[in-house]
């Protein structure tokens, strides 16, 4: 039903869910022969690698599968996809957590998906009890910005305090709202989102309530917090609250 390129936490969790549902899901790791993917054109091909490994993963994709690509990465990957000629590819924002390799997916809200293979992902989610919901481009952009800011804000505060995200939401709600006010204009320069800062903040808190024990931390800096820092600097946008948290993180 799907193919998966990337045998890390996400790839293996999706494959395990598919196996339990009696579905076909090839999961190709770094050491596996990728040419097997050429045999199943038309099936969604999920790229489930780290952001820094995307170029290497794409180099392994047969030309007859380029229209099948589905990207599930977090962070600011929209400019990357445009630069690589994959702006029209299917994308999904995963709203579930996989704590470690071999663990099952847990918690979360329905994962929004947009693009040519959205219906296939929704069907896969229904069969595997992983909720996927097909959305239009405008809603996807709103959720994309929301997820980026959740990762940046909770990752930064979590890196400073060591608290799980549920505790962060309880103790730092004002800080979260202030950071959204600062960072949403930065992210909007690359993501055409329309949701207000208040709506985005509520979305962050709603997702947090579904995974309260998750411990967010600074990850994939150049795709998340680092991108925000660089973009704000380039555009002359002030982010004093964010800078204060980053200073605490570095101390």
pLDDT value of residue 109: 86
Strand partners for 74 = none
pLDDT value of residue 212: 93
Euclidean distance between CA atoms 244 and 247, whole angstroms? 5
Q: How many CB atoms lie within 10 A of CB 218?
A: 17
Residue 210 CB contacts under 8 Å (≥ 6 apart), including other chains: 95, 107, 108, 109
Backbone angles phi, psi at 132, to 5 degrees: -115, 140
Question: pLDDT per position in the chain (251 positions), as tens?
Answer: 899 999 999 999 999 999 999 998 889 998 888 888 898 999 999 999 999 999 999 999 999 999 999 999 999 999 999 999 999 999 999 998 898 999 998 877 899 999 999 999 999 999 999 999 999 999 999 999 999 999 999 999 999 999 999 999 999 999 999 999 999 999 999 999 999 999 999 999 999 998 899 999 999 999 999 999 999 999 999 999 999 999 999 99
Taken in order of first residue, the domains within the chain and their CATH numbers are 2-135 (3.40.50.720), 145-250 (1.10.1040.10)
pLDDT value of residue 3: 95
């Amino acid at each position: 039903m799907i193919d998966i390129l990337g045998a890390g936490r996400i790839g293996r969790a999706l494959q395990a869910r598919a196996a339990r549902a009696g579905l076909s899901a090839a999961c190709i790791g770094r050491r596996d022969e990728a040419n097997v993917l050429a045999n199943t054109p038309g099936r969604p091909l999920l790229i489930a690698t780290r952001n820094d490994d995307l170029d290497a993963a794409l180099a392994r994709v047969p030309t007859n599968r380029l229209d099948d690509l589905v990207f599930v990465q977090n962070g600011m990957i929209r400019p990357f996809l445009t630069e690589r000629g994959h702006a029209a590819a299917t994308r999904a924002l995963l709203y579930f957590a996989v704590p470690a390799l071999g663990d099952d997916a847990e918690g979360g809200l329905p994962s929004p998906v947009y693009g040519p293979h959205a219906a296939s992902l929704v069907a896969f989610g229904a069969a595997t009890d992983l909720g996927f919901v097909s959305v239009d481009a405008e809603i996807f952009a709103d959720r994309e910005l929301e997820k980026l800011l959740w990762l940046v804000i909770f990752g930064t505060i979590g890196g400073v305090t060591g608290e799980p995200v549920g505790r962060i939401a309880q103790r730092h709600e004002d800080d979260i709202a202030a950071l959204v006010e600062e960072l949403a204009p930065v992210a909007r320069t690359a993501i055409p989102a329309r949701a207000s800062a208040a709506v985005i903040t509520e979305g962050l808190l709603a997702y947090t309530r579904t995974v309260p024990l998750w411990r967010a931390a600074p990850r994939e800096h150049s795709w998340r917090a680092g991108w925000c820092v660089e973009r704000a600097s380039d555009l002359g946008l002030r982010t004093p609250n964010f800078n204060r948290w980053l200073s605490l993180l570095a101390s």
